[in-house]
């Protein structure tokens, strides 16, 4: 029987072109045995007719806060109590802003204030709207208040642009609801993962970075979520798609990654540093593009060290999580990795060869030599998803003594 069997799912639909996919979410939820009621915002009704949702859900669709008939029975309270889970898909930038402000200016926002059921948002918007600082702040506020984010994914957008902001497909949304952090050896545990490269600006158009694609870190995030953890990724600039049910915070520089990680530390049980963080940044960012010298002479850049995120987390005085680092080595892998683990104070370090084809950066596959105090395991060459799964089993075993 499906995990969703008998569950009451309240689907909120806000205004966006992705709303055309929302009837399919209803269909799939019902197929999984859930009961579904639909609440639409006024803007959503400009995209899809309530009749469509009524037909697929088998129930009347709700949209008016001040509906005299419904409110005689306190419609918004009744809906808020009925829901075991509220899923808002699509969640537009406007809806997220209104929720972040705690507004109660329509039925959907009002019942979100009135419910104690978990609320998941499936954002859908243009990539620049998603990246806008106002939306970022709203997203942070909502996450701090316990909302869950499902997506967004990356790819082609209805506006013709390409980037982050696509609503997850109905299948992925339903799978995420059906696989809550209620099963698996990491249920109830919060895992924070860094992934991808960092970019250290030199001037407005140039930066220092590296070849990390984020694949290894994203595969680990998926493996942690599959084991029931609540997973947050802090990702440097990379194209990898966010795994189902994983919260993603995009950053650019090591300093930004450091700030986000330190802010989340108190809420973290396991920290995994898979990002290729730049060890140095430019001492000064030139405010304008650095010009090529006429005389053909060279250019010297002064670099200063970045904060060492892994070492700082491992050295945290209070509420220190179980700490897993990575080591990217081009020679003497075991010796350098174990020395790095001790120097940074990590509980475990996963070492991989870099600078050679078929492993490490950019590759689809990898192999890991994993070290902890008094122990070692070799995880054989495999696609990154499989390797990440084997690494997570090892972490669960070492951190919690179970598989
Ligand atoms: O992203 P992919 O293309 O899939 O490639 C995967 C990978 C090769 C990037 C990954 O497997 C990996 O090895 N990640 C760590 C890369 C790295 O920066 O290694 P390092 O040996 O330089 O750093 C050691 C550890 O300290 C790492 O856990 C790193 O995240 C951490 N670190 C480093 C510097 C810094 N300022 N802060 C840190 O937290």
pLDDT in tens, the chain (403 residues): 677 999 999 999 999 999 999 999 999 999 999 999 999 999 999 999 999 999 999 999 999 887 766 655 567 888 999 999 999 999 999 999 999 999 999 999 999 999 988 899 999 999 999 999 999 899 888 877 878 888 888 778 888 888 888 999 999 899 888 875 555 788 768 899 999 999 999 999 999 999 999 999 999 998 998 888 889 999 999 988 787 678 889 999 999 999 999 999 988 999 999 999 999 999 999 999 999 988 889 999 999 999 999 999 999 998 899 999 999 999 999 999 999 999 999 999 999 999 989 999 999 999 999 999 999 999 999 999 899 999 999 999 999 986 5
Cα 263 to ligand 1 centre (Å): 20
Same domain, 145 and 205: no
Instruction: Give distance in angstroms: CA of 326 to centre of ligand 1.
Output: 5
Q: Give me the number of domains the chain comprises.
A: 2
Of 181, 199, 228, the residue at which a domain comes to its end is: 181
What burial class does residue 249 get, using C-beta atoms within 10 Å of its C-beta: 0-12 exposed, 13-18 middle, 19+ buried? buried
Tell me: do 6 and 109 sit in the same domain.
yes
Q: Are residues 217 and 123 both part of a single domain?
A: no
226 and 166, same structural domain?
no
pLDDT at 107: 96
Alpha-carbon distance of 365 to 356, in angstroms, equals 12
State the catalytic residues: 159
Q: What per-residue confidence (pLDDT) applies to 185?
A: 85
User: Does one domain contain both 355 and 384?
Assistant: yes
Task: Tell me the CA distances in angstroms from 139 to 44, 128, 151, 270, 349, one per residue in order.
Answer: 21, 14, 12, 23, 32
Cα–Cα dist 105/112, whole Å: 11
* Domain endpoint, select from 181, 204, 233: 181
Residue where a domain stops, chosen among 143, 158, 181: 181
Question: 207 and 127, same structural domain?
Answer: no
Strands (E), 47-198: 85-91, 119-123, 148-149, 153-156, 162-166, 190-195
Contact criterion met (CB below 8 Å) for 90 and 19: yes
Atom of ligand 1 nearest to the CA of 329: 21
Do 8 and 145 share a domain, yes or no? yes
Query: Across the chain, how many H-helices and E-strands are there?
Result: 15, 19
- Counting from 1 in the atom list of ligand 1, the atom nearest the Cα of 238 is 1
> Which pTM was predicted?
0.66
Q: How far is the CA of 286 from the centre of ligand 1 (A)?
A: 27
Q: Report the separation in Å between the CA atom of 22 and the middle of ligand 1, taken as the mean of its atom positions.
A: 39
Asked if 206 and 334 sit in the same domain, the reply is yes
Q: How many other C-beta atoms are found inside a 10 Å radius of the C-beta of residue 158? A: 13
Same domain, 7 and 53: yes
Same domain, 164 and 21: yes
Residues 298 and 171 placed together within one structural domain of the fold: no
Residues with CB under 6 A from ligand 1: 194, 212-216, 254, 273-277, 279, 306, 308-310, 325-328, 340, 352, 354, 360-362
* CATH number of the CATH domain containing 384: 3.40.50.10300
Backbone phi, psi, residue 371, to 5°: -125, 140
Could you say which DSSP state residue 402 is in?
Answer: -
pLDDT at 230: 85
Domain containing residue 204: 184-403
Cβ atoms within 10 Å, residue 74: 12
């Amino acid at each position: 029987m499906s995990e969703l069997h008998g569950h009451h799912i309240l689907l909120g639909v806000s205004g966006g072109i992705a709303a055309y996919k929302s009837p399919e979410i209803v269909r799939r939820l019902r197929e999984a045995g859930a009961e579904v009621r639909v609440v639409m915002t006024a803007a959503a009704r400009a995209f899809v007719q309530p009749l469509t949702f009524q037909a697929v859900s088998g129930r009347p669709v709700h949209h008016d806060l001040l509906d005299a008939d419904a409110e005689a029975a306190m419609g918004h309270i009744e809906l808020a109590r009925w829901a075991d889970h509220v899923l808002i898909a699509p969640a537009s930038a406007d809806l997220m802003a209104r929720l972040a402000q705690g507004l109660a200016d329509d039925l959907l926002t009002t019942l979100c204030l009135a419910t104690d059921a978990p609320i998941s948002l499936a954002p859908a918007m243009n990539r620049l709207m998603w990246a806008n600082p106002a939306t970022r702040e709203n997203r942070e506020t909502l996450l701090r208040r316990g909302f869950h984010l499902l997506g967004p994914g990356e790819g082609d957008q209805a506006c013709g642009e390409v980037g982050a902001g696509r609503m997850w497909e109905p299948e992925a949304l339903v799978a995420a609801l059906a696989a809550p952090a209620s099963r698996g050896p990491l249920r109830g545990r919060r895992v924070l993962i860094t992934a991808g490269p960092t970019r250290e600006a030199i001037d407005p158009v140039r930066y220092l970075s590296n070849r990390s694609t984020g694949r290894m870190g994203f595969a680990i995030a998926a493996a942690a979520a599959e084991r029931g953890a609540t997973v947050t990724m802090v990702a440097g600039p990379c194209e990898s798609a966010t795994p189902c049910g994983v919260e993603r915070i995009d950053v650019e520089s090591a300093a930004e990654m450091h700030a986000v990680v330190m802010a989340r530390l108190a809420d973290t049980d396991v920290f995994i540093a898979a990002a290729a963080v730049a060890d140095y940044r430019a001492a000064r960012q030139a405010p304008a593009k650095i010009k090529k010298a006429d005389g053909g002479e060279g250019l010297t850049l002064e670099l200063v060290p970045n904060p060492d995120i892994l070492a700082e987390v491992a050295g945290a005085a209070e509420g220190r999580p179980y700490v897993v680092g990575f080591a990217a080595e081009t020679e003497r892998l075991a010796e350098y990795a174990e020395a790095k683990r001790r120097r940074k104070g990590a509980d475990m370090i996963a070492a991989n060869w870099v600078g050679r084809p078929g492993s490490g950066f950019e590759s689809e596959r990898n192999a890991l030599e994993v070290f902890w105090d008094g122990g070692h395991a070799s995880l054989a060459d495999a696609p990154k998803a499989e390797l990440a799964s084997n690494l997570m089993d090892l972490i669960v075993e070492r951190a919690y003594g179970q598989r």
